[in-house]
Amino acid sequence: MFHKVNLILDFIKFFISVGLRVGRMFIIRLCVFMLSLYSFSLYAAPTNKRPPPTVEVQTITRSMVEQDLSALAILKANESVLLKPEVAGRVVAINFNEGQTVKKGQLLVQLDDDLLQAELLSQQASLALTQAEYRRYQALFEQQQVSALDYERKKAELAQAKAALSLVQAKLRQRQVRAPFAGVLGLRQFSVGDVLQANQALVRLNSMSPLKAEIKIPETNNALVSLKQSVLLTLDAVPNLTLKGQITAIEPSLDSTTRALVLRVLIPKTDARVRDGMTARARLLLASNNALFVPEQALVAQKGQFVVFVVKNNIAKAQVVKLGKREVGRVEVLEGLQADDVIVVSGQNKLNKPEIPIKPVPLQGGL
């Protein structure tokens, strides 16, 4: 600009020197003309354009993501029973401690059996005598010294004696409470000397390995589940513990109250901290999907919908998107974008038009 001014002034000086010889009016007209030319050059000078806004961009790609279904689960012991005596009787021995791990068939409670023990001795003696008589009659029958009828009668007497002995032995077993399977005992509700009634609750026995879980899901998800489907379970009561299981059975009928589908899950490996009846958060793994995700910060809310600015040839254009599953720091895009699209992830506040030139720079640090 100053160069132009100096150039004009040089022209004025030159023409003044020339105009001294042609007259004062010529000089005045020349000055007016040169000033007008200078004003026009200033007015017509190009204005400075604002540079395009700088934004951070990123190329999006597809990644594998597992589809799942969340539900509430109730953990259950693989086997659980409340032990009860079959007959009434007085407790003479307790052969376990509360919370103890016991083996299958282990004797836990003994009721008084004095009368039965005496009857057992009597039946054993009677059986021994009957067996001796039967052997003698068998030898005589082979020598044809006794009739077939007498021999068959002794044979029947032997069978009766054996049956009588077996009956006493069965009654003796009823005076005992044994563990039907290996497991852990709970708290007992009786003491030595108590006279128990038949079917009176004594103590609970649980087998916690493997573990079972019961899950209820809405009937609308019936088609999404199947046998041998993987399930992950987390417990609020036991932090940092994840149990893995599989669906082993599906109830053929819906729950009559909740109209829910009931699933049975078997968990092979458990933890000693897990208790029967605990609640867990179940995550049923349905399938793997090749999904398209964008950073959560790339989304812009406009007029009740979300848009993402897509960059092509240094032009950012707002694109309406349909969202799906949300994860930490990112969101699945179902419609509106394609793999390998370049999108704006930072600096959207500088984009005040649906389509605007930009200066893209790669995102620092990624997602």
C-alpha to C-alpha distance for 206 and 100, rounded to whole angstroms:
11
Answer with the one of 169, 196, 223 that is the final residue of a domain: 196
Taking CA 208 as the corner, what is the angle to CA 109 and CA 284, rounded to the nearest 5 degrees? 155
Orientation of helix 24-43 relative to helix 2-19, angle to 10° = 170
Regarding whether 182 and 99 lie in a shared domain, the answer is yes
- Domain boundary among the residues 196, 229, 258 is at 196
**Residue 182 belongs to a domain:** yes
pLDDT-derived band of residue 45, with 50, 70 and 90 as boundaries? very low
pLDDT tens per residue, range 297-341: 999 988 889 999 999 999 999 999 999 888 888 898 989 999 999
Residue for token pair 């017509």: 44
Tell which of 251, 273, 289 closes a domain.
Answer: 289
41 has pLDDT over 60: no
> For residue 312, what pLDDT is reported?
92
Whether residue 367 is predicted with pLDDT greater than 50 in this model: the reply is no
Q: Cis omega (within 30 of 0) on the bond before 210?
A: yes
The reply to whether the predicted model has a pTM over 0.85 is no
Q: Tell me: pLDDT of 40 over 60.
A: no
Kindly state the percentage of the chain with pLDDT values over 90: 56
User: Minimal CA–CA distance to 276: which of 45, 93, 74?
Assistant: 74
For the chain, give the mean pLDDT: 87
- Give me 19's structure tokens: 């105009």
User: Which of the 8 DSSP states describes residue 49?
Assistant: P
Question: Which tokens hold the place of 32?
Answer: 């007016």
DSSP class of residue 339 equals T
- The reported pLDDT for the residue numbered 36 is 66
Question: Would you say 309 and 319 are in contact if contact means Cβ atoms under 8 Å apart?
Answer: yes
* Residue 233 forms part of a structural domain: yes
3-class secondary-structure state, position 360: strand
Strand partners, 58: 343
Quote the CA–CA distance of 89 and 113 in Å, as a whole number: 9
Task: Please indicate, yes or no, whether residues 185 and 99 belong to a single structural domain of this protein.
Answer: yes
For residue 362, pLDDT over 70 is answered with yes
**Bridge partner residues of 74 (DSSP):** 214, 279
Residue pLDDT, tens place only, 46-92? 555 678 888 899 999 888 777 788 999 999 999 999 999 999 999 99
